[in-house]
Structure 1
Amino acid sequence: MIRSVPLIFNDPAYHDPADVEHLCLPYTVAPCANSQRRFAGRLYAVPRVALCEYEFRAVFDWIEISIETRREHAGVNLQRRLMKLNRDFGAFRTCFVESPTRGKAHSGRGHVIKMQDPAPGGLPGLLRAFLREDCAPGCTLDKIPVTGVELSLDVYPAPRFCEGDYAVRRMLMTELLRKHVAVAEVFREDRRHPRFVYKVYKTGSNTTTQRLVDPGSTASYCRTTARELGLRHFDIASCDSAHHHQPVLDSTLYFGKKGERLYYRLMDKITDNRKGDMADDLPCHRTRSRAEFTFIDETPGDGLGPASVGISSINDLALDGLTSFNTLLGFELPTFRRDGSDPEAPDRNAWEIFAKTGVAGLAQREDVLDVMEGDRDALRARARQRVQSSGKRLRFSDLNMRATKALRRLEERWQRDWR
């Protein structure tokens, strides 16, 4: 069975009107062949997109380190010092110097340095010169803690496509990444909830934020039912496709809360060097689909970020590999109960939820249904504990493999050029 998910847009001018008929993401729906009991009788859906026609690249957007200087320095003076050194080494595009708690306009011996677009060929030389001249004697690269990184997976259609075909394939990939990105259940809670942000069409100045799951005007009903079952009202709302909202393609999709340990963003990247409302348009064949995540110490030095996966220093990051990051960005395929009126088709409500909010929305619905179909007395005794994963998704092996290979190429480049 073939099903399609139409792409939707905030600004109709975002795409060529002639492309409308091609701006649907097609899927093959078939019986799930997995032998595990939880998948018995279920259907699964896989996108009909030739991943071999795309190039996957992983890049560091920035790396953040924590250092202590020999003497007190104003942050602005230290930033100038680093930029002067950078003219000789070409270690990054720019850098920012903040206090040990990421505060602005500070002075002291402790500093957090964020380096944008770091280059492995120049970074070790710059850091060694900086350590030698400005930091305590004996401080070496393997003693510089990494307190945060931002890493992006960029997906480019093959350059052989003409501009029109390239743009269509890029937009389909952007939708595919959003539909299949897998995040932990904790990203359904509080201010971590998935949401998309976009400019208000026609005004172009104000931004609007929309949650993927939003009870809206039925919040009272959802809250009443949630109280009866010991769940949250968002859990109840997630079971009905009417409360799910499909992100417009010309928006940024967020998972997580800024400033916390993990924070995800997915976008159709067609601009760069954004400053406020201004940005540079990218040439067609440099536009791409992007999935990026920020992985930080919530307070520099607390060890919740890179150190928690074994990356304690800048040397570890450059030389010991990035395999630990494979668990931070992954993709899954949805599975469905069969529809009551047509056993060859996926459950209608479940498919509508997936078409709007992807694996993330469908996973929440399936997890809640598993709980609701359990023992009601035990359910009420949960006292609104977090709904756990029912594990009814499949690994998107082909996409995960390509993302892993992109990480491996980044790792090899850093190991080769770090000197």
Structure 2
Amino acid sequence: MGPLAGKRIIEIAGIGPGPFAAMLLSDLGAEVIRVERTGAVRGPTPDKPAGDVSLRGRRNVAIDLKHPGGLATLLDLVESADGLIEGFRPGVMERLGAGPDVCLERNPKLVFGRMTGWGQDGPYAHAAGHDINYISLAGALAHFGRAGEAPVPPLNMVGDFGGGGMFLALGVVAALLEAQTSGQGQVVDTAMVDGTAVLMTMFWSMKAAGIFDEQNPGTNLLDTGAHFYDVYECSDGRYISIGSIEPQFYAELMRLTGLEGDDQFARQMDATQWPELKVRIAELFKTKTCDEWCELMEMTDVCFAPVLTMSEAAQHPHNVERQTFIELGGTVQPAPAPRFSRTAAEVTQLPAHPGEHTRDVLADWGVDAERVGQLLESGAVRHAE
């Protein structure tokens, strides 16, 4: 069982970073139940699991939070919970009657985790937005891209998942630890703008040191400006990645590419040479296939790896040996991380459909059978047959 075994978390259904945080907490052993809208229950439960991998690891209960009986049921569940996470705009949970003040009154030790893009306050707090907007305002997106080109959104990994879901999970775990000592819960205000800003910490340090030019993206050490830290196309159209920053790694790159002794390449940190050196080394990498470069450079100190698609990554020998990817319910997906020597993280439940476990969850969390029947009859909760 994972290190969070014994902790009970309520997830109010949402999209993106909230479900991702709930998945992480579940992977690490917490019992997480996902509270879905009753309107999401559509007929009998299909034979196969839900398609969204981020829903793995928790049971699903359908509750109408706008129904008095549904709200009362949620607050009853709160009394047995260690934490609750939600991803609505500021004020929505309060309007439903399940804001942090109400929940903490019912359970003073509750950790109330909130996930938004802009945060619970500030001029943008009530505006709509998506990952691309949050990482823009946080000062991150401007620095993803090559020289002379427009910024390139890095999927939605930086805002939604790195700056959002990861920080929500971390905040909830930290608050759970503190509650064990103080006996008091608290609200965790997680904003993707805040988390993304924290992810940029090293670059703020580099800027302060005068070694990161924020006005000229794509010209710096780590943003594809340097010839020794970039992605290069091979003769077969595939790509390889090079990260030979340190002198000893750069020396190995020079040796294996046959550039050892070249006076121009010897001036590794002369940024004025980087544009020309990038052209030269790009031409060199196009002389061999990706497999040929792998045969020459894999598992050396060049700091090298082939650029793999998701499907290719799942089949790479290193990832296969470490079981970095697993197959559950017929779907290949990342395995839980990180790894623990004693309390192994694991996936305990295939992705559930809305309302699939309503009866079982309510019973397991202390709602007697007669009341469950009344709730089902009134429409306050719904079970997918």
TM-score bracket, shorter-length normalisation: under 0.3
Which structure: greater strand fraction?
1
Q: Which has the higher contact order (CA 8 A, sep 6+)?
A: 2
Q: Which has the larger radius of gyration?
A: 2
